[in-house]
Structure 1
């Protein structure tokens, strides 16, 4: 697994925007990290490199946002996401690298469409639920699935949470705790798929 200087620059930028996204300032921009990295390394290596970094960021985030998350929402979203992670892991196990790249391309297009559709829409304000909680299962599972393939679970989650009318602070805290939970949950699945190697772990360490 080798990258030239431009690859390292783009990868470092991808990690930076992921950190900004985790802080609550960048929405779901962190979903761009794996597609960027996959321009230089395989998508399987890219997700393996990013997962330890994401978990480290999550540990910082949950300390900052402790006690502010909407646990009534998370109690529905997280179990659904676990089902999505299991399904995504099965897909990862049977898909070729070429198919994974194709899936990443589709996820990237959906990510871009999500960003365009939500332009100008703020977070929070007057709480007004416009999306029923029944959607939590579908959106949670979708977030778990896309997060397993490319750490891009933001759009499905935001489709649901933005429609729940949560105040900004509660919204950000809920996303932080959601991704902290599912990133930890992905760890045993990635281990079972043998995605980690000495090279990916070393690269994760260098990028932290």
Structure 2
């Protein structure tokens, strides 16, 4: 049984607020930092079970502010591709050890930061492309898989959405509706895989107010705070978390 000590709250509260801000105002790209940080103090499966209901709560809270502002073809394609992505991830979850997920989450953290820094310094260029349904499906497949195993579906879908040249608000709204659907897709297999438990529900309930606080701040900050300022702190958190998770997994 997982004990929720002071470390859980010391790391979990700011992590969930940060995740809520990312989902509520900055395209969900770095929201998975919440689960990654929780995986430092509880088993990865427990972290998954705690974070999913909180992210679903944030989804519900942020649907209204962005309603109808999304790019529907992109959102629809991502959701369709996410179905097989979630199925593959559910199968993988039944056959691998928890340390494999720690390693995977840690690597995703570092790769995401490397990609974002490279894009910011123009070492990596994401060209604007016309909408492509097959590319949307691929983005959804990869996003559904990474979302299932680490709540990290934001980065792969962000690459696709950035290539569409969407406005800041259309990009944000598209991630909101797409991950609202993807998170519901994940909920049913999470039940059958035993990821949800009394302990994860308790953890979710204790952190729920902070998820809503993060969502509210994110919606307000969407038009006020430069993405660069928000992500600068996010990168530091993700690098530290990623290195720690990889160290624990390998050790």
With the length of structure 1 as denominator, give the TM-score of the two structures: 0.91
Structure 1 stretches of 4+ moved >6 Å: none
Cross-structure match for 1:125: none
Cross-structure match for 1:112: 113
Cross-structure match for 1:46: 47
Give deviations 1:113-156, integer Å, cap 9, x for gaps.
222123278xxxxxx83265132121111100000001011110
Give deviations 1:22-69, integer Å, cap 9, x for gaps.
122375121211111111100000000001101011001111111111
State how far apart, in whole Å, the 1-side matches of 2:170 and 2:26 are.
Answer: 14
Cross-structure match for 1:129: 128
- Larger displacement relative to structure 2 (49-58 or 104-113): 104-113
RMSD of Structure 2 on Structure 1 (CA): 1.7
Distance 1:83 1:165, change over 3 A: same
Gaps of 5+ in 1: 122-127
Aligned partners of 1:131 and 1:160 also within 8 Å: no
Q: Aligned residues, how many?
A: 202
Aligned partners of 2:81 and 2:138 also within 8 Å: yes
Aligned partners of 1:10 and 1:36 also within 8 Å: yes
Higher relative contact order (CA 8 A, sep 6+): 2
Is 1:194 matched with 2:183? no
Superposed, which structure 2 residues align to 1:134-145 within 5 Å?
A: 134-145=134-145
Aligned partners of 1:58 and 1:180 also within 8 Å: yes
State how far apart, in whole Å, the 2-side matches of 1:70 and 1:117 are.
Answer: 26
State how far apart, in whole Å, the 2-side matches of 1:29 and 1:165 are.
Answer: 20
State how far apart, in whole Å, the 1-side matches of 2:199 and 2:165 are.
Answer: 43
Cross-structure match for 1:163: 163
Local SS of the residue matching 1:29: coil
Deviation at 1:98, TM superposition (A): 1.5
Cross-structure match for 2:92: 91
Distance 1:167 1:38, change over 3 A: same
Gaps of 5+ in 2: 209-251
Deviation at 1:19, TM superposition (A): 0.9
Local SS of the residue matching 1:41: coil
